[in-house]
Structure 1
C-alpha cells in the first residue's frame, strides 16, 4: 500500500511530549472530593478493615487529616458521621450538636477556603439502618422529607458549603431546597445523589459508616442497576427541583450513565468512585497483581472522560500525590 493511502495516527504518539500535546482529558487535584468519616469521642483513629488506608477519626484527628488533603491541592471534602447513638428517626442527623455538625464547624474555622460538603442522609443515624422513617417494614417517603430538610438546615448552620442528600426519596431536592431558602441559606447549593443505584459495590462503605440495613434492602428507593432510562428521569426531576450538582453512584460500572446524563444536563456532574471500587483495587494491589498507581489514574481518567467534572474518591490523596509526582 502506498504511503498516504491510509491515516498515520501513530504520528501523534511518537514521544511523551507529543502525546501530552494532544491529550484530551486531564486530571487535577481540584477534581477530587475527599471523603472523611468522623467518630464521636477523642483519640480515635480506627482503620476500616475492608478499606485499606481509610480511617474513622475523632474530631481531634480531623484537622490533620484535612490539612494533608489541602496541602495536596484538594479543594473539597465530604463529611460522613458515625454517631455514638442511633434511634428510629435518626435524630443525631439533624441535631445541632451532632457529630457532622461539630465536624463542619471545626473545619470551617480551621479551613475557611476548603469547600465543605455534608452528606445528608439518615441511614447512619437510624437503628434500623434505612434512609428514612420506617412503619410496618416500609420506608415512608413524605414524612422522611421533613427530617432530611431539618438535617440539611442544621448542616448549613454548622458551616456546610454544599448539601449532598443521598437518600433517594422522591422529592428530596425540592424539600431541601425549600427548607434551605426559608432558613436564609439561598446561596448553599444542593449536590444531589440524583442517580444512585442499589449496588453491591457499597459493601465496604457500610463497614466504614456503620450503615447496613437491619432488615431487607434498599431496592425500593435505590435504582435497579439494569436501568438506564430511569437514570435520565431521576436526573431530570432533580434538575427541575433545583439541584446544583448531579451525582452518579457508583461510577466504574456506570460510565455509560455518566455520559448519558452529561449529554442531557449542563449541571456540574460528580462521579462517586465508591468503596467497593476502591477495595477491589487495593486488594489486587496488595497481592501484587496490578500496578495500583497506573490503574487508579487510568480509572479516574476514564470517569472524567465519560463526563464527570468532579470525582468523590477514597483515592483522592494518593491520586493527587501521584499527579504532583508526574509534574
Structure 2
C-alpha cells in the first residue's frame, strides 16, 4: 500500500479564510496611483473611445473629480494635460498658465490629493515628439533644458512630485539641479527609467493627442528586447537624483520589475499602461475573461514581481469595490 506524504499542500487551500491567511502577496489602495487627463479643449467629460470607462475632464471639473477619487481612498494621481495650444517647442508644458499647472492649482485649492505631474513635451508639440527637433531627430540637450523649466513650473504650481517620461539622457540630473536651485529640494522625481518602445501605448496616444506626426520614438525609448540596458538606465537615474524608478509597461516586463526589485533598495513603480487596460476591458466585454478576476490577477502579478506602487487605470474601479474577493 502506498504511503501518502504527511505534508499536503492542499490543506492550506481548503477554504477562503485559510487561503487569505497564507496569501503571500497583497496590495492596498495606498499602493495605487490613478492616471487622470485634463483637457483644455472640452467643456464636458469626454470618454476615451479606445479606453472604455476612462474619462478626460475639462479644467473646471478636474478638481472635484480628483477630490472624489481621494474620497475613495486613492491618495495619488498621475496628471496628464491636453493643451489648447501647441507649438514646435511645446511651450505650454512650462507655462505658468499651462493646463497641468492650472489643473494642479485647482486641485490643491480643494483637496490634499497628491499630484504627480507627468513631464514631457509630446502633448504640447505640433509634431508630437518628446522634445526639440533637429533634422527630425529629438535633440537631447536642448530638450532637457526645457524639461528642467517644466519641472520648476510644475513644482511652483503645487505638484507634489514630477515624473519625467521623455527618456532623454541626463534629464533627471538637469531637473534635480533646476528644482534644487529654485528652492524645491523636497520635490521628488519619479523617473520613467525603463520605458520601452512598446506597442501597448496606442490608446494613450489617442487620449493625450500625442501621436507623432512622423517617425517613432525608438531613438529614446528602449528596445523591448533589452534587459541589461534597463539597469544602465536605472543606475544613471539614481546617480542623477531619482527618488523612484519606474518600469513601463508593467505586465510584459514583469522580469524587469523583478530584477529591479532585487538590485535596488529604492521604491519601484510600475505603469499598467493604456494597452494593458484596453486589452483586459475588451476581452471582458466580449465575455472571454472574467473582468474582476482578470484585473485582480494582473495587479497581483505586478505587485508580486516587486512593484511598490502601481499606476493603473483600474485604480478607481478597485476602490469602488472590485477588490471585494
Q: TM-score, normalised by structure 1?
A: 0.97
Alpha-carbon separation, structure 2, partners of 1:221 and 1:288: 38
CA-to-aligned-CA distance 1:211-270 (integer Å, 9 cap, x gap): 001110000000000000001111111011110001100001000000011111111111
Segments of structure 1 that go 5 or more residues without pairing to the other structure are none
Structure 1 residues 83-114: Cα deviation after superposition (integer angstroms, max 9, x where no partner):
011100000000010000000111112112x2
Q: CA–CA distance in 1 between the matches of 2:217 and 2:17?
A: 49
Q: Does 1:261 align with 2:254?
A: no
Counterpart of 1:115 in structure 2 is 114
Report what 2:234 is aligned to: 235
For 1:31-71, what per-residue CA distance to the aligned partner results, in whole angstroms no more than 9, with x for missing partners?
11011110115632111110000111112221232123112
SS in 1 for 2:117: strand
SS at match of 1:325: coil
Residue 17 of structure 1 aligns with which residue?
17
For 2:245 and 2:259, locate their aligned partners in 1 and report how far apart those are by CA, in whole Å. 12
Residue 324 of structure 1 and its aligned partner are, at CA, apart by 5.5
What is the CA deviation profile of residues 8-44 of structure 1, one whole-angstrom value per residue up to 9, with x for unaligned ones? 1111111111111111111211111011110115632
> Could you tell me which residue of structure 2 aligns to residue 46 of structure 1?
46
Q: 2:152 matched to which residue of 1?
A: 153
Paired with 1:39 and 1:155, the residues of 2 have a C-alpha distance of: 17
- Give the corresponding residue for 2:178: 179
Matched with 2:4 is 3
Which residue does 1:89 correspond to in 2? 89
Partners of 2:67 and 2:110 within 8 A in 1: no
Using the TM superposition, name which of 114-123 and 313-322 deviates more: 313-322
Q: How far did 1:146 drift? A: 0.5
Is 1:71 equivalent to 2:71 in the alignment? yes
Gapped regions of structure 2 (runs ≥ 5): none
- 2:34 corresponds in structure 1 to 34
Aligned-partner Cα distance in 1 for 2:235–2:293: 35
Indicate conservation of the 8 Å contact 2:41/2:83, yes or no: no
Supply the distance in 2 between the matched residues of 1:69 and 1:249 (Cα, whole angstroms).
Answer: 23
SS at match of 2:4: coil
Change (3 A) 1:38 1:236: same
Match in the other structure for 1:325 = 324
Distance 1:281 1:102 in 2: 33
Counterpart in 2 of 1:286? 285
- Say which is worse superposed, 284-293 or 248-257, in terms of deviation: 284-293
- Which residue does the alignment assign to 2:98? 98
Q: CA contact under 8 A between 2:63 and 2:103: conserved in structure 1? A: no
Please tell me whether the aligned partners of residues 28 and 323 of structure 1 are also in contact (alpha carbons under 8 angstroms). no
Aligned 8 A contact 1:32 1:76 in 2: yes
* d(CA) in 1 for partners of 2:267, 2:29: 16
Aligned partners of 1:79, 1:19: CA distance in 2, in Å? 37
Q: CA deviation at 1:323?
A: 5.0
TM-score by length of structure 2 reads 0.97
After superposition, the C-alpha distances for 1:180-203 in whole angstroms (9 at most, x for unaligned) are: 000000000000000000000000
* Alignment RMSD: 1.1
- Which residue of 1 is the match for residue 138 of structure 2? 139
Paired residues of 1:29 and 1:323 also in contact (CA < 8 A): no
